[in-house]
């Protein structure tokens, strides 16, 4: 089980209260007066990732993170303008079956994010 120090709990709560992907600097901004520096945040993030609590992805040369601790398998739609994010159910099974058959390959895992413009940004 993960060891939750006070500082890690504070970092984790920022993820819990965010409805969009955030990076380490965003967390630093939110926790500005909490005596937490960037390296503490990065160590906390690394710990959360190792414990399968966070999903990371690269966007605009930065690494963003979202809480993904429900144990279920999802994909994400991410708006490239406002970083709006929405979980999408996985419909990959038929494609994966086909890939396995065609390539004689046992697929055990896959990742996919979908990028585009959300309803508010697509005007």
CB closer to Zn ion out of 13 and 105: 105
User: Using the rule CB under 5 A, which residue among 4, 90, 95, 107 binds Zn ion?
Assistant: 90
Rounded to an integer, what distance in angstroms lies between the CA atom of residue 15 and that of residue 102?
40
Cβ-contact 11, 41 below 8 angstroms? yes
- Considering the rule CB under 5 A, would residue 78 count as an interface residue with Zn ion? no
Rounded to an integer, what distance in angstroms lies between the CA atom of residue 16 and that of residue 76?
17
Between 38-50 and 6-16, two packed helices, what is the crossing angle to 10 degrees? 80
Residue range at the interface with Zn ion (CB under 5 A); choices 29-37, 62-70, 80-88, 97-105 = 80-88
Rounded to an integer, what distance in angstroms lies between the CA atom of residue 79 and that of residue 83?
5
Rounded to an integer, what distance in angstroms lies between the CA atom of residue 11 and that of residue 8?
5
Binding residues with Zn ion: total (CB under 5 A): 8
Q: In Å, how far are 56, 101, 108 from 64, measured between CA atoms?
A: 6, 34, 25
**Minimum distance from residue 63 beta carbon to Zn ion (Å):** 20
User: Using the rule CB under 5 A, which residue among 2, 38, 82, 88 binds Zn ion?
Assistant: 82
CB closer to Zn ion out of 28 and 118: 118
CB closer to Zn ion out of 2 and 121: 121
**Minimum distance from residue 61 beta carbon to Zn ion (Å):** 19
- Residues forming contacts to Zn ion in the complex (CB under 5 A) are 79, 81-82, 84, 90, 92, 118, 121
């Amino acid at each position: 089980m993960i060891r939750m120090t006070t500082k890690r709990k504070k970092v984790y709560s920022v993820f819990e209260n965010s409805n969009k992907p955030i990076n380490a600097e965003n967390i630093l901004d939110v926790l500005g007066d909490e005596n937490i520096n960037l390296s503490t945040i990065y160590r906390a993030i690394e710990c959360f990732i190792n414990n399968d609590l966070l999903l990371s992805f690269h966007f605009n040369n930065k690494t963003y993170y979202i809480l993904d601790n429900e144990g279920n398998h999802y994909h994400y739609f991410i708006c490239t303008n406002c970083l709006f994010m929405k979980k999408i159910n996985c419909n990959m099974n038929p494609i994966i079956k086909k890939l396995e058959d065609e390539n004689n390959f046992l697929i055990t895992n896959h990742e996919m994010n979908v990028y585009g413009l959300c309803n508010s940004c697509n005007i």
